[in-house]
Amino acid sequence: MDDLSELVQLLNNFKPELSGSDVTASFTELGMDSYDVVDFVMAVEKHFNIAVDDSQVMALKSINDVKNIIDQYNKED
């Protein structure tokens, strides 16, 4: 399973009502507030064993943004 598929699965587990949502949609379009985003990023950190800097979390606007951060960590390894 690729990172994007894993992220979608995490999002669906986190907020089942978003199942089938467009991964390019913004978190706002998905109905997620800042608390939801922080909780979701914490789940991502745990799942992928990474640590996202707080300043990066506040800049995240979509699933694709989260995937880009994961890609950055994968390049650093």
CATH number of the domain that residue 66 is part of: 1.10.1200.10
pTM (predicted TM-score): 0.87
The CA-CA-CA angle for residues 16, 22, 43, to 5°, reads: 45
CB atoms within 10 A of CB 38: 16
Query: Count of domains in the chain?
Result: 1
Local confidence band at 4 (pLDDT 50, 70, 90 cut-offs)? confident
Encode pLDDT of 28-71 as tens digits. 998 899 999 999 999 999 999 999 999 999 899 999 999 999 99
Range of the domain at 63: 3-16+23-76
pLDDT of residue 77: 63
Taking residues 3-14, report their average pLDDT. Answer: 87
